[in-house]
Structure 1
Amino acid sequence: MRRVRGEAFLTLALLNIFVLITGFVALDVIEARPLPAVPHPVTNAEGVAAAEPASSSPADPERIADVLDDPMSAFGLAEGLSGFVVDGATGATLFERDADAPVTPASTTKIATAVTILDTVGPDHVLTTTAHFDSARGMVVLRGAGDTTLTTTVDSAAYPQVATLEELALRTAAALGAQDVDTVSIGYDDSLFTGSALGPSWKPNYVTEGSTAPVHALMYDSGQVSPDTSTRWPDPPLATAEAFVNELKQAGVTVEGTPGEAPAVGDPIASVDSPPMSVLVEFMMLESDNNMAESMARIAALETGGEGSFAGGAEATHRVMADLGIEGVEVADNSGLSTENRITPHALVELLLLASERPDLNAAITGLPTGNSTGTLAKNGRYSAYGSTGDAAGMVRGKTGTLNGVSTLAGTVHDQEGNMFVFAFMDNSPGASGVRLDTLAAALARCGCS
């Protein structure tokens, strides 16, 4: 998991450096933004050159409808498909098909989750994992704060530098040494989150197949057992406490017994901080990390006096959506694994536009995967040069969503004339697949739509 996460963070870092160099910061084509944007990124890993745009002019809705009609007909996309496309510069509606129909969003739910946490705690917020010493019991208690990027040992080449149990153990050992303590027992406190560890309507195989770990405030590597397998720990807090024991022993502390649940009391004697929330959001979006999404929802709930549970996270999301004036978002979980979630294409597009306009929400945009280059749009041959959508590689950025009978894609795309569109396509049908939706975004990318 550390290696996978390190590669993802490095990819994200390189992408963001490119974004800053080119001036393509989120949706900079929005007229309210101060700097002009380069028409589209050129992050095509297989060398398909992004087309040079002609002079940009307003897109024609009839032309948009025409170019989308062919792939919809070719793939039999009719019943179950809904969509919404707007002009990124003006917000003008260019295409709508049942755009206000609430449908199962799968992982495009994470767009709402990203906006919720950023609006609630801000982009600079960090999550602090702590160690507490109970001198009466001679026990060090490890307390989780919802940082699923917590890992075991330092990787000096990783970007950014995430919190590690190794560093926490070294700091704990130093604090214990200052009190002439060299032998302790270990407890762990996972009480920050409450309620069920499995979400509403989650299938039992979500954990066994590795889509997610049970949701806890204390876990490392998103509950993944090793970098080479998708297997998740059945008890992430215990696994994390055991890993902490190993690091404490390496730091020279004698540990007696095995870890057990115990409340953290008093001030911490040592702590480690996560990267800032903006970076966590970008990674969550890029890799579609389910455990991180659920953790963020609970943090948002707790920040506003709610409960750190699935219900609390959903309530926090609904409250933020209401405050922002976004209609059409109803969630039971925040990762999108629940089939009870309902979001409209219109709402997804509104959220992306809002994130482009507010700097504190920009991470919801900068974390979008890029076709054939980063995150979930670099997997399973999506926008590969060997497929029918390869010419749109690097020009489509979007959050993906996949469940049985559900495929969704929401993001941004540039056409051949320099226009940028913000879109959401959502297919709730037995034959739903990402490849089918990729053809719609690719049709927009190759369009001369004026």
Structure 2
Amino acid sequence: MRESETTERAGDTPAASPFAGILSTVRRHPLAWIIAGSAVVLVVLGSGAVALGASVGTSASASTLPSASSTPTPTPTRPVAAPTRPLPVVAPAATKIRTCSVSGLAQDGRLGNLEAQVVNAKTGAVLFDRNGGKPGPTASVLKTLTSAAALKVLGPDYRVSTTVVKGSAPGQIVLVGGGDVTLSRLPDGQASFYTGAPKIQDLANQARQAMGGQPITSIVVDTSLFGGPVWQPSWDEHEERVVEGSTSYITALQVDGDRNDPTAIESPRTTDPVGRAVQYFQQYLGTNVPVTQGTAPAGAQQLAAVQSQPVTALIDQAMSVSDNTIMEELARLVAIKTGAGNTFAAENAGVISALKGYGIDTTGIHIADGSGLSGDNAVPPSYLTRLFVKVLNRENGLGVVYDGLPVAGQSGTLGPGYARFTGANAAARGAVHAKTGWIDHGYTLSGIVTAADGTPLTFAVFALGPVSDNAKQAIDTLVTGFYHCGDNLTNN
């Protein structure tokens, strides 16, 4: 029930009322009533503030309580926090829109069944891919994998030794092949094809001196380090050994890679590389004593030794001119060192075991030989683009592989005389460092491009199937396209 307000005007005579007694009491005891009245006012004000606060909720406005006697006084209220707002979602970084396409170049019929991939070596982004994850035959591009395996397992400073030890009979010596195919038959002062190669003449001189004048009665030849067969079954022997003269039988003892011409890049090879080496060893010893095949006695005293150049030098020369025989030697030594065995069949397990040390997935890789001659080798282009990033960055000593790569228009199998990167493709000369490859039904190129915009790209291009020699020009044109596009290369 709401109480009505009453107003008393000055000069009016108060009428008798029920409150007359109360007023009389107030006049008699004013202080007590003032105190009581103040208490009542406080109670009323407090209850009013509570009621008003409930009615306005969380409003931030000041509340006032009406008063009949004075100017309204604002009642303080507790500050109210602003409503919580959702945080804005962080927008993803903008994706670069690439517009430089080589799609037309990739459709060139000369490329056959194309497998290719291009990676930005700085960011790891795949810029271009055509069946890049599909394992295919690499041809001599496989030498990159063999080199990486040799560096990992043998080490950059490893040297291959050819030795002579005492035999089991008086006056008998044993010539032990260590797998060095660069050992040369040329006399001191004459340089063979293999730079800095050791001489079998030096080996013979050391052995004769170590015998101290004791006559040599017989020679045993130990080539047991490498197991048979001496020729990979999938290779074309007539083409590679005789006609092209690019590859020898793979034996633990031979001289000059068994070339007929020890100074030539390519020269026909024989069917008896061990016999040729022994012939020159006897010649420098100055003896025609009997020669037999056998093995060195355990713990036999060493009489003589010569060593190859370090692995780094062997890789540099083999990569530049694509020497098959050095790479077969290295693959076999890797297989032996890893405990996989000493045959062609053991190279798959040995090389793959070594490659796993680089931390790149080896799924799909199959190693049939060390040179890449076999069509049974299989490597996806995507593996090569990742490996070449490490080569470019010189990780784990792989810089030697980069240093040995042919350079377009300048050196090796991309240099003068090889008709590569000619005409309009000459724009990429000097910018492409890559390993070439060719076998029946396959032309390949893989390596590094420093693009026109400065972007380092790693790439692998396989032109497979019914292709011919003109696939090389189609590959060069496609790689020149990579060069022009750089980081703007699109997969469309």
Provide the C-alpha distance between the structure 2 equivalents of 1:311 and 1:171, rounded to a whole number of angstroms. 36
**Residue identity opposite 2:296 in structure 1:** A
Moved more, 280-289 or 181-190: 181-190
Match of 1:238 in 2: 275
Deviation of 1:140 (Å): 2.4
Task: Give per-residue Cα distances to partners, 1:18-62, cap 9 Å, x unaligned.
Answer: xxxxxxxxxxxxxxxxxxxxxxxxxxxxxxxxxxxxxxxxx9784
For residue 219 of structure 1, the aligned residue among 254, 257, 260 is: 254
Are the structure 2 counterparts of residues 70 and 380 from structure 1 closer, same or farther at C-alpha, using a change threshold of 3 Å?
A: farther
Q: Runs of 5+ in structure 2 lacking a partner?
A: 1-94
Deviation of 1:294 (Å): 1.4
Aligned sequence identity (%)? 30
Provide the C-alpha distance between the structure 1 equivalents of 2:96 and 2:370, rounded to a whole number of angstroms. 36
Matches within 5 A, 1:82-231: 82-134=115-167, 136-152=169-185, 153-155=187-189, 160-176=195-211, 178=212, 180-205=213-238, 206-209=240-243, 210-226=245-261, 227-228=263-264, 230-231=267-268
Match of 2:81 in 1: none
Task: Give per-residue Cα distances to partners, 1:124-172, cap 9 Å, x unaligned.
Answer: 1111110123262523222111111111233477895221112212212
Matches within 5 A, 1:359-374: 359-374=396-411
Matches within 5 A, 1:222-371: 222-226=257-261, 227-228=263-264, 230-249=267-286, 255-257=287-289, 259-265=291-297, 266-323=300-357, 324-327=359-362, 328-357=364-393, 358-371=395-408
Provide the C-alpha distance between the structure 2 equivalents of 1:398 and 1:100, rounded to a whole number of angstroms. 20
Task: Give per-residue Cα distances to partners, 1:163-197, cap 9 Å, x unaligned.
Answer: 11122122122212x3x224443332111001211
Provide the C-alpha distance between the structure 1 equivalents of 2:233 and 2:241, rounded to a whole number of angstroms. 14
CA root-mean-square deviation: 2.4
**Residue identity opposite 1:276 in structure 2:** P
Provide the C-alpha distance between the structure 1 equivalents of 2:392 and 2:217, rounded to a whole number of angstroms. 50
Task: Give per-residue Cα distances to partners, 1:262-320, cap 9 Å, x unaligned.
Answer: 32231321101111111111222112111211111111111122211111111111222
Q: Which has the higher contact order (CA 8 A, sep 6+)?
A: 1
Match of 1:398 in 2: 434
Larger Rg: 2
Provide the C-alpha distance between the structure 2 equivalents of 1:225 and 1:160, rounded to a whole number of angstroms. 17
TM-score scaled to structure 2, two decimals?
0.72
8 Å Cα contact 1:332/1:341 also seen in 2: yes
Match of 1:438 in 2: 476
Provide the C-alpha distance between the structure 1 equivalents of 2:353 and 2:283, rounded to a whole number of angstroms. 42
Task: Give per-residue Cα distances to partners, 1:357-414, cap 9 Å, x unaligned.
Answer: 42423222221111122222226533365x4422322211111110111001000111
8 Å Cα contact 1:200/1:332 also seen in 2: no
Count of aligned residue pairs for this structure pair: 381
TM-score scaled to structure 1, two decimals?
0.79
Q: Runs of 5+ in structure 1 lacking a partner?
A: 1-58, 250-254
Match of 1:3 in 2: none
8 Å Cα contact 2:258/2:270 also seen in 1: yes
8 Å Cα contact 2:406/2:434 also seen in 1: yes
Match of 2:456 in 1: 420
8 Å Cα contact 1:105/1:342 also seen in 2: yes
**Residue identity opposite 2:474 in structure 1:** R
Provide the C-alpha distance between the structure 1 equivalents of 2:150 and 2:97, rounded to a whole number of angstroms. 34
**Residue identity opposite 2:260 in structure 1:** V
Are the structure 2 counterparts of residues 397 and 154 from structure 1 closer, same or farther at C-alpha, using a change threshold of 3 Å?
A: farther
Deviation of 1:102 (Å): 1.0
8 Å Cα contact 2:449/2:483 also seen in 1: yes
For residue 69 of structure 1, the aligned residue among 100, 103, 108 is: 103
